[in-house]
Structure 1
Amino acid sequence: MELGLHIADFTWNDGPARLGPALADHVRSAEEAGIARITVMDHFWQIRGVGPADHEMLEAYTTLGFIVAHTSRARLHTLVTGVTYREPGLLAKQISTLDALSGGRVGLGIGAAWNDEESAGLGFAFPPTAERFERLEEAIQICRQMWSDADGPYQGRHYQLGRTLNVPQVSRKPYLMIGGGGEKKTLRLVAKYADACNIGGSPEVVAHKLDVLRRHCDAVGRDYDEIEKTTIFPMDPGTSSDDIVRAADALRPLGFTAAYVFAREITDRAAIVDRLGAAVPRLR
C-alpha cells in the first residue's frame, strides 16, 4: 500500500512569512522519504475537524503549481476540488497545464462540494445538493471531452461550452478521483467515470461502501477492479508510525492500495514526514 501526504494545514512553526520555503522543503522531504503521493485540499478557509477557520490556507491550484516545481516523482492532485469553485472549462485547462509542466504527474480529484459557510463567506454559488451533483457529472464530462481529440461544443443543463479546444493536449488522460462515499450519487459517478475513489471510515463502514460501489459497477457494466480504492485518515500529535501502519493494514485486505494521511495540530512539519516516512517501507 502506498502512503500519501495530504497537506490539510499550513500552520507550521516556520510562520506564515516563510510558507514558501517551508512548503518547498516539506514536499521535497516527503519525496525523499518515499511518499508516493502529495495532495492538498481545495478550500479557502481552514475546515472544521482540522482547525479554526482563520488558520493558514492556500489556494489549491496555485499551490499545486508550486509543488510541481519542487518535486519530480510524486503523483499530485487535490483531495478534492469542489465542483462549484471553478467553471469546468477552466478546471480542465488548469489540470492540462499542470500535466504539461509536471510531465504527467497531476490528476484531478473532484467532488460535489460541501462547505456552505466558506461559499457564503466568499460569494461562491452553493446550489442545492441535487444540482451540485448534476454539475459534478457535467464537469466530469467536460473535462473528459477537453482531454480528448474532440473540440466540439458541449451542451449540458448547467454548462454550455461553444468549443472545447485544449492546447497543449494532455500527454495521457489524467488520473480522475471522485471523493466521498455517498451511496446513491457519489459512488454511482465513481462507477461510471472514475479511475479512483476515496472513502474514509472504519473497515466495517468502508467494506459496506465498497459493496455498494460493486453493485453500481455491475449496473453500468464497469469492471470493479479497474477502480483504485484509496482512503484517508488523520495523524494527531500522539499518532505514531505504528498507528499509521495499523490503520492502513486494516484496510489493505479490502483492496485499498493507497492511504492519504493528514496532520491535525502538528506544527512541526518534519515530524509529519518522519512518521510517514518510517511507515512507508512497512507497507510495501
Structure 2
Amino acid sequence: MRIGQQVARFTWPGSPGSIGPTFASMARWSEAAGVESLWVMDHFWQIAQIGPPEEEMLEAYTTLGFAAGVTSRIELGAMVTAATVRNPALLVKTVTTLDVLSGGRAWLGIGAAWFEEENRGYGLDFPPTAERFVRLEDTLRLSRQMWSGDDSPFVGEGFTAPRPLNVPQPVRTPPILIGGVGERKTLRYVAKYADATNIFDGGPDFVAQKLGVLRQHCEAEGRDYDEIRKTVLTRISLSERSGEKVASGEETMSLEQAVDKLGSLAEVGVDTAIIGMGNDTDQGTYDLLAQLVEHVASL
C-alpha cells in the first residue's frame, strides 16, 4: 500500500503570513517521510465537515505550483477539482503547466462538484446534477484529446473548444483520478476514463461494496479492473500515544492502530491511502508517518 497526504486546513497561528512557510515545511516533511503524493482540496471556502466557511482556504492550483517549487519528488494533485468551476480547456492547460514545471508530477483529480453555496457565493453557475456530469464527461474526453496533441475542434455534449491547442505537452501524461462514490455515473466514468478512483473511508465493507460496483462497470466497459488504482481518503492523526486530542478535535492514533486500520482497507482491495492529519503542522508527526509508509509498503 502507498501513502498520500491531503492538507485540508490552512488555519494556523500567525495567518496569513505564516501560511506559506508552514505549508512549505509540511510539503518538505511529507516528501522526506516517503509519502508518494500531496493533495489539497479544490475549494474556495472551507467545507463544513472541517470548519466554518470563514476559515482560511487557498486556491488549489496556485498552492500546488508553490508545493512543486519547494519539493522534487512528491506527486501533486487536487482532491478533487469541481468540473463546474473552470473552463475545461483551461483546466487541462493548468494541470499541464503544473506537470511541466514540476517535472512530471501532476495529477488531474476531478469530480462532478457538490458545494453549491460556495459556487453561488463566487457568482459561479451550479447547474443541476445531470448537467454537472455532462461537464465532467466533457472535461474527461477533452483531457484525453489535448494530452494526445490533437488541437482539432472539440464538440462535447455541453462544451465546445474550436482549437484546444496545448503546447507544451506534459512531461508525463497526468493520471486522472475521479473522486466520488456514485454507482450509476461516477464509478462508470472511472471505468471508462480514469487511472484511479477515490472513495471516502466509510469502512472496509462500504469500500468493498463500491469497488464491487466499479468491477462491474469495468466488465461492461471492457476495462481491466486491475489497471485502476484504488484510493481511499481517510483521517489519521498519528501520535506516540493513542486517544490524545489534537487542535482539530480529533483523537490521535498509534502507529500500530494506523497499520491495522490501513490493513483492513488493503484486504478489500485498496492500494493507496490518502490521509489527512489533524496534527499535520507538527514536525514530529512526520517521523511516525515515515514509519507508517514503511510498515504498510508490503500490504
Please give the TM-score of this superposition, normalised by the length of structure 2.
0.91
Distance in 1 of aligned mates of 2:156 and 2:164: 13
- Partners of 1:9 and 1:263 within 8 A in 2: no
- Structure 1 residue 175 and structure 2 residue 175: aligned? yes
Of 268, 274, 284, the match for 1:260: 274
Q: Give runs of aligned pairs for residues 48-197 of structure 1, distance below 5 A.
A: 48-197=48-197
In the alignment, structure 1 residue 270 sits paired with structure 2 residue 283? yes
Deviation at 1:17, TM superposition (A): 1.3
| Residue type at the aligned position of 1:224 | Y
Q: In structure 2, how many angstroms separate the alpha carbons of the residues matched to 1:233 and 1:272?
A: 16
Q: Shift of residue 14 of structure 1?
A: 4.8
Paired residue type of 2:270: F
CA distance in 1, matches of 2:199, 2:68: 26
SS of structure 2 residue aligned to 1:229: strand
- How far the C-alpha of 1:21 sits from its partner, in A, is 1.0
What is the RMSD computed on CA atoms of the aligned residues?
1.4
How far off its partner does 1:164 sit? 1.5
Gaps of 5+ in 1: none
Alpha-carbon deviations, 1:167-191, whole Å to 9, x = none?
0011232110000111001000000
Query: How far apart, in 2, do the equivalents of 1:13 and 1:245 lie?
Result: 31
Q: Tell me how far apart the structure 2 counterparts of residues 13 and 257 of structure 1 sit (CA, whole Å).
A: 35
1-structure distance, mates of 2:74, 2:198: 18
What does residue 280 of structure 1 align with? 293
1:250 corresponds to: 264
Highest relative contact order (Cα 8 Å, sep 6+), 1 or 2? Answer: 1
Partner SS state of residue 170, structure 1:
coil
TM superposition score normalised by structure 1: 0.96
Q: Which amino acid aligns with 1:208?
A: Q
Contact 2:26 2:281 in 1 (8 A): no
1:234–1:261 contact (8 Å) kept in structure 2: yes
**Higher helix proportion, which one?**
1
Q: Counterpart of 2:27 in structure 1: which amino acid?
A: V
CA distance in 1, matches of 2:116, 2:178: 20
Further displaced range: 14-23 or 253-262: 14-23
Distance 1:220 1:267, change over 3 A: closer
1:182-215 per-position Cα deviation (integer Å, ceiling 9, x unaligned)? 1001000000000000012210011111110011
Q: Deviations over 1:211-243 (max 9, x none)?
A: 100110011100000000000111353222333
Size of the aligned set, in residue pairs, is 283
Q: Is the 8 A contact 2:6 2:276 kept in 1?
A: yes
C-alpha contact 1:12 1:269 (8 A) present in aligned 2:
no
Return the offset for 1:280.
1.4
Instruction: Give ranges in structure 2 of 5+ residues lacking alignment.
Output: 238-245
Map 1:39-50 to 2 at 5 A. 39-50=39-50
What is the deviation of 1:156? 1.5
Q: Kindly report structure 1 stretches of 4+ aligned residues shifted beyond 6 Å.
A: none
SS in 1 for 2:52: coil
Instruction: Calculate percent identity across the aligned residue pairs.
Output: 49
Between the aligned partners of 2:232 and 2:193, the Cα distance in structure 1 is: 18
Whole-angstrom distance in 2 between the partners of 1:198 and 1:127: 23
Query: Post-superposition shift, 1:275?
Result: 3.9
The answer to whether the 8 A contact 1:43-1:59 is kept is: yes
Distance 1:45 1:232, change over 3 A: same
